[in-house]
Chains A and B, each alone.
Chain A
Amino acid sequence: MLAAGRRTVAAWVTALAAALMLPTPVLAEQFAITGAQVHTGGDAGVIERGTVWVRDGRIHRVGADDDVSVPEDVRRIDAAGRVLTSGVFDPYSHIGIEEVSLIEQTVDARYGGDRWGPGFDVRDAINPDSALIPVNRIEGVTRALVMPAASGASVFSGRGAIIHLGGEHDYLVRSPAAMHVQLGESGAAIAEGSRAAALMQVRELLQDASDFADNRRAWERRTRRDYVATRLDLEALQPLLRGEMPLIASVHRASDIRAVLRLAEAHRLRLIIHGGAEAWRVADAIADAGVPVILDPLNNLPSRFETLHATLENAARLHAAGVTIAFGSGGSHNARNVTQAAGIAVANGLPHEVALAAITSVPARILGVGDRIGRLQSGYEADLVLWDGDPLEVTSYPDQVFIAGREIDMRSRQTELRDRYLERLGLGGR
């Protein structure tokens, strides 16, 4: 801690930035990436030889090389022949709350008890030093919605947070950011037997929460009826009822999707469907309701009876019907592989720019931070990935990643182990 009298301008600016809830930039850090094929994700579309000028953690200017005049003293990164996109945003992740999946002491994604449901919040468990973070960010993942995993006695698994993978103390972007509910076959198991019982549990909690909102004082004076939920659960559900927080419902079967659409309409919820293996069969209803779908484009097997109609064309069919889609794939350890999944969606009929949006701007937008994250345009937080080729191609990797304007160290323990044994076995390499 610096004494006040010795505070530098940098410290003051940093403090100011923090006060304004901005990501802490390296002071007056400026750089410009020039000559790249820039996929802006915004109105400017794709700029063939473009410049992105970053100042203080944010994108300052974006345009064709000739149209953006960057001052001489700003560092330039020549990216001719390379591709620049916004960072990949994993819209449903356990990054930071799951280390070794089978070692339960390293997994904080599940609340296994029966005391809380909606009130559970993963925020305090998130570990910005997780080994999963470097592994994923050097391959382009810059943001994640960290969500609890289904478990326990409540079909509500709890609330998650949006983080960035910049690895600093200010990793929280929004918390709480979304509520999760588990429906379908897994929800039925939690609700002890039937998918109808799972929805009953949801309705009862929402009705309790709604009654609580109108009669909070009476309830505290114990002159109102009892609720099945605890006070923390009831409080946690309020932003949902006010339409401020999205409800992410994990559900696959067409009929289950229709059921949750009815529920969302009745309670005016901001619904996001997660999973949606059979979503294409009810695409028109989903589009009419304006509900986005987070799906894994690779899900094409009848892993359960609720996914009999799973197909690689799910993404393309939903898009054609006007449904907003975002992609999650590969689990948390390999969230990095979502680029491959997006490419496979393209191979199965989805336009390339739509697939790229499904892993960058759309997750940000449907989670309520699309006005500052997920696009390469002025004022946006500078999450940039400079790829050595088409970002959706399996042979492409990032040359450099920036998160909120910070240049990321392009190493992970995997690259360190690789280099150690390349040398140990005399295999050459770089």
Chain B
Amino acid sequence: MRVQSVISGLAAALLFQSALADDPWGSRYEAGNAAGFAITGATILLGNGERLDDADLLVVDGRIEAVGSGLTIPDGIERIAADGRWVTPGLIDVHSHLGVFGTPGYVAHADGNEMSGPNTANVWAEHGIWPQDPGFVTALAGGVTTLHILPGSANLFGGRSVTVKNVPARSAAEMKFPGAPHGLKMACGENPKRVYGQGRNAAPVTRMGNVALKREAWISAARYRDRLAAANDGNGDPPDRDLGLETLAAVLDGEVLIQNHCYRADEMAIMLQMAEEFDFHITAFHHATEAYKIGDLLAETGTCAAMWADWWGFKLEAWDTVRENVAMVDAAGACAVLHSDSADDIQRLNQEVAKTMAAANRAGLDVTPERAITWLTANAVRMLGIADETGTLEPGKAADVVLWDGDPFSVYTRTVKVWIDGVKRLDRGDPVLPPDGDFFHGTRDGVRP
């Protein structure tokens, strides 16, 4: 039976969005023709904590072939002389709402918060993504090649997030990162209790309610998973398919990663206790304005924190942040990531890192550029489950590469060229790369991203 087989094959077919031909929701991304190229004489931040000066990068068939000094460049491969300019991996934004809260930012484009109930684990961000959002092109101009797009934080369980490649597309499926696991967006704190408690006189009203409703959901998810497993072993009927429980069960099976919006240190600590109770792993806390207070705890539990450089004060749970937040989490030995959560900041993630790096060094921490870039590269792909595929310029990985016209940690530096899977997607010297998205086609003149 078709339905039966789908249910029993949940983990394999639905939860791993690998480009299985028979997965209707799988990626339909096609890299395009990668000609191969070499960048010579560059200052290269590999994204893994290493820096190479006056070095070369060789790309063949859309993959990093080699990186190092004095590489032998095969004949017929385009050579780009960097002349000391800088090269980094394509930047990763682990927290974006591009496409689900597109610009122009009218209610008609508000597709990121399914505020019909505090648990909407059943919805998927990729079903709300508008690939013509002009923000994708401006993010590309900022060197962003991979984005993690999440539902909003109105709900305790906001739904599934998705990782995409920053390429022009007609559907979200054409952007979807092949093989990347889904995330489950969860939210702590003020937002759910404001939307439901204050807004609708419904649960949750308090942080206590936030936690209770989540625990109840995990209890249901564990039962759902167990009944499914039992049915697979021939014991009883499988439960009726339930999209929300399917997502939570996939978390319990380790196949969907928890991406948890959570600001305060005490709430992050409570979430880690909840993870102990139900035996799941929280991949990352997002926003985490107080992560610097619990760097040790994050390191112990292997939980990443994705943070801003300096956002604060817009609500009470964002009152206690510090400029050095990201660097302090890193210094405590935890997985530190810098995110945007913004169509503006995503255009200059490198500068946001620079501000934090400089502030941390003034405070006596020792943060080098090659270390700081990991907040946008190696650590970012770790928390998205795509560390084998992109995020660093190591041989074998996808050629997601940015050539900058100077030190990426300067306010005056801009991208020169950007490649995704070895395909050039931005070139400041080429007036039609990137092409304007459909939204701007015929509506404006005289503006380039």
Contacts and interface: CB of A to CB of B under 8 A. Distances in A.
Contacts of B357: 395
Contact of B354 (A337, A394, A425, A428): A394
Which residue, A132, A337, A415, A425, has most C-beta atoms of chain B within 10 A? A425
Contacts of B3: none
A421 B293 contact: yes
Contacts of A101: 313-315
B362 to A, nearest CB: 6
B104 A303 contact: yes
Nearest to B292: A421
Contact of A418 (B103, B104, B324): B324
B135 interface: yes
A347 interface: yes
Contacts of B397: none
Interface stretch (B30-38, B46-54, B201-209, B404-412): B404-412
B411 A392 contact: yes
Interface residues of B, number: 56
Interface stretch (A35-43, A237-245, A305-313): A305-313
Contact of B355 (A301, A313, A340): A340
Q: Chain A binding site: helix, strand, loop or mixed by DSSP? A: loop
A414 interface: yes
A418 B292 contact: yes
Contacts of A266: none
A427 B332 contact: yes
Contact of A421 (B106, B313, B328): B328
A392 B355 CA distance: 12
A189 to B, nearest CB: 12
Contacts of A333: 311-314
A333 B323 CA distance: 13
Interface string B328-356: 10011000000000011001100100110
Contact of A414 (B321, B344, B440): B321
Contacts of A346: 411-412
Interface string B176-193: 000000000000001000
Interface residues of A, number: 50
A337 B411 CA distance: 12
Given A301-B343, A340-B411, A395 B447 contact: no
B278 interface: no
Q: Which 7 A-B pairs have CB atoms at the shortest separation, nearest pair first? A: A343-B411, A430-B364, A429-B364, A395-B358, A333-B313, A102-B315, A418-B322
Interface of B: 103-106, 134-135, 138, 190, 292-293, 295-296, 310-316, 319-324, 328, 331-332, 343-344, 347-348, 351, 354-355, 357-359, 362-365, 409-414, 439-440, 443-444, 446-449
21 contacts: A100-B315, A100-B316, A103-B315, A103-B316, A311-B447, A333-B311, A333-B314, A343-B411, A344-B348, A344-B411, A346-B412, A388-B362, A393-B411, A394-B354, A395-B358, A395-B410, A417-B322, A418-B328, A418-B363, A427-B295, A430-B363
